Amino acid sequence: MTRSRRILASLVAVVGTIGLLSAPGTARAEPYLAVQMGFKCAQCHVNPTGGGLRNIFGNAWAQTQLATRRLGPEDDLWNGMLGKYLAIGGNLRGNYATTRVPDQATTNGFDLQEARIYLDAAVIPNRLSIYLDERVGPGNAQEQEANVRLWLREGSVYLKAGQFYLPFGWRLEDDNAYVRQLSGINMQTPDRGVEIGLEQGQWSAQLSVSNGTAGGPEVDDGKQISTRVEYVPGNWRIGASATVNNADAGDRTGLGLFGGLHWREFALLGEVDYFDDDGLGSNGRKLLASFVEANWRVRQGHNVKLSYEWFEPDRDVDEDEQTRTSLLYEWSPFEFVQARFGFRYFHGIPQNDLQNRSEAFVQLHGYF
């Protein structure tokens, strides 16, 4: 198959799979949970663009619907509120992983992937909040998100300023997914700027202007403009993203299409992103990445996730594509705890061992 046919196939695949819909949904968090529930991100998260601190509904749902069973008393749910104005939450992920690279010794070890604390001070309830996402481990503390959010129209139009994750595509938990690496927009790369957002009925939209340095110091006059629009009628959704980073190092333009659908106990997510980066190589490069993820909710508290990713690092070079296939089993035995068992297989050009590695991991995820 030629490169152009592969690109076309990737585009058609995503458009095809998100273009159809089905029946009512059940429960879950992370993007696939939103797809399964037919929710927008703001339904469960303080941040309208998703991720980070869960709101009262999100906390209640996580304790009663996400886990296999509940250990705590039924009539005493954690709601994250420390008094009337201050909400707190957190995440901690610890891993044991083993990696096999061809012609190299197998490596394995325990690792603290990250520990985060979230704080939201609603100094004027439902109108003005100050939000912090502090990474407290491994190593010293480092702010990820730190911004003030003002609802210009309560519940529908907001303005955010400070440091935050830029709006683009699916906000995946996996920062190493090809679509998140290619865009350079993930949970490790906040940027500084302002964002205006709209939450209106079945629509959700954001527009941001930022330094375009992914958290680094500003080094030129250029700025990055990013936008994301999503339509969420219920059992399916579709969205589009765009970003332009005007920098002395070379302009970078990205376009993305993403979506999801839910049918019975299955949730399917897809995304395809195209980037044109003048700062890569001597003549710039055009890159493409796609992502498809299928989730099967075996029963409450048990989820099987299968994903397939494809990355084209340079459209002008043939036979350099890479793929990444992941199979995960996620088990939430009781509230606030999730165990994940996963296997990832990377496939790339045969002369690069790292592009043909495999990984197996176990992760314990605690959250509140």
Partner 1 sequence: MAPVNTSRRRARRAPALSTLALGIGTTLLASCTAGEGTGLDANGRPPGESGAGQPPPAAGANDFRAIQDTILTPICTACHAGASAPLGLRLDSANSYAALVNVASVQVSSLRRVLPGDPGNSYLVQKMEGRAAVGSRMPLGGPPLTQASIDLVRAWIAAGARPPATAQAPQKLLVVSSTIPATGEIAVQAVREITVVFNDAVDASLVGIGGAVQLIDERTGAAVALQSISVQPGNATVLKLRTAAVLAPGSYELQLRGQGSPALASVDGHVLDGDADGRAGGDFSAAFLVVPAPASGGSP
Contact predicate 104/90, CB 8 Å: no
Contact predicate 347/366, CB 8 Å: no
Phi then psi for 132, rounded to 5 degrees? -130, 135
Give me the least distance between CB of 126 and partner 1, in Å please: 34
Q: Which of 101, 181, 111 is nearest to 358 (CA)?
A: 101
Contact predicate 6/13, CB 8 Å: no
CA 153 to chain centre: 27
- Binding of partner 1 by 351 (CB under 8 A): yes
Please select the residue that binds partner 1; options are 268, 273, 274, 330, rule is CB under 8 A: 268
Residues of this chain, 156-175, that bind partner 1 according to CB under 8 A:
175
Residues of this chain, 123-152, that bind partner 1 according to CB under 8 A:
135, 138-140, 142
Q: Judging by beta carbons within 10 Å of its beta carbon (0-12, 13-18, 19+), is residue 224 exposed, middle or buried? A: buried
Q: What is the spatial distance between Cα 183 and Cα 269, in angstroms, rounded to a whole number? A: 17
* HSE, side-chain direction, 13 A CA sphere, residue 240: 4
Please select the residue that binds partner 1; options are 355, 363, 365, 367, rule is CB under 8 A: 355
Nearest to partner 1 of 83, 139 (CB atom): 139
Exposure string for 79-116, b = 16+ CB within 10 A, e = fewer: ebeeeeeebebbbbbbbebebebeeeeeeeeeeebbbb
Selected range binding partner 1 among 27-35, 67-75, 268-276, 330-338, rule: CB under 8 A: 268-276
Selected range binding partner 1 among 79-87, 121-129, 181-189, 195-203, rule: CB under 8 A: 181-189
Please select the residue that binds partner 1; options are 62, 67, 132, 185, rule is CB under 8 A: 185
Residues of this chain, 191-230, that bind partner 1 according to CB under 8 A:
212-217, 219, 224
Residues of this chain, 21-60, that bind partner 1 according to CB under 8 A:
21-23
Residues of this chain, 284-323, that bind partner 1 according to CB under 8 A:
290, 292, 294, 308, 310, 313-314, 317-323
CA angle 301, 307, 311 (to 5 degrees): 155
Nearest to partner 1 of 60, 320 (CB atom): 320
Give me the least distance between CB of 101 and partner 1, in Å please: 6
Residues of this chain, 53-82, that bind partner 1 according to CB under 8 A:
none
- Binding of partner 1 by 14 (CB under 8 A): yes
Please select the residue that binds partner 1; options are 61, 239, 359, 365, rule is CB under 8 A: 359
The CB density around residue 48, as the number of other CB atoms within 10 Å, is 22
- Binding of partner 1 by 239 (CB under 8 A): no
